[in-house]
Amino acid sequence: MDILGQLVTIAAVLLGGLATHFTNHRMERQRTQYTMLTRWDERKLDAYAEYIDRVRTCIYSSVLLYEVRKDMRSIERSERDLTMELADGERTRGRAFERVMLLAEDGVIEAAHRLNAAAAAIDWRAKGTTDGTLDEWRELHKVAFKAINGFHEAARDDLGVSGNFHGEDHGSRDLILPPARRETDS
């Protein structure tokens, strides 16, 4: 009986060792997966934030160029310099967009495409590639900022950020624009 007792003890020790090894291996694997997921989420967040920053920079450059071209504003920089600044902004926005394409899921990519199209329409109008009225110019901005909000929502979904981005209060807000200039104001 002594030998049987010793064999049971040895078997229990071996079984306990295997169970501990298996549990440690599984926990380490889960920790590694979580670390990888967190690392990609951080990179996604950086890419999304950089892309939105580049889009907004281009919009602001476009507004300045448009206002100078339409004699709505007078500044010391030339129209050519402003056009070159916008072209540089478009280039960096394109690079930021490519980063989003590499990291994002389908919903974010689709939202980025819509945002790119809206931002490009503003750029083209500012450069004079397309023409239209001041009211149409303002409408381009409303579409762009709606696309920015759509991108934010898709990015939040992709990153697992909880909360309702398009709540009643947020959705009722509109792009704040100064009133249109009247002919008598000129």
CA distances from 12 to 15, 22, 26, 83, 144 (A): 5, 15, 21, 78, 67
Q: pTM surpassing 0.75?
A: no
Which residues, in sequence order, are CB contacts of 68 under 8 Å at separation 6+?
74, 75, 77, 79, 82
Domain ranges of the chain: 41-164
Condensed to tens digits (0 to 9), the pLDDT of residues 30-62 reads: 877 766 556 678 899 999 999 999 999 999 999
Query: CA-to-CA distance for 103 and 85, rounded, in angstroms?
Result: 28
Four-way CATH pick for 41-164: 1.10.10, 1.20.120, 1.10.3470, 3.40.50: 1.20.120
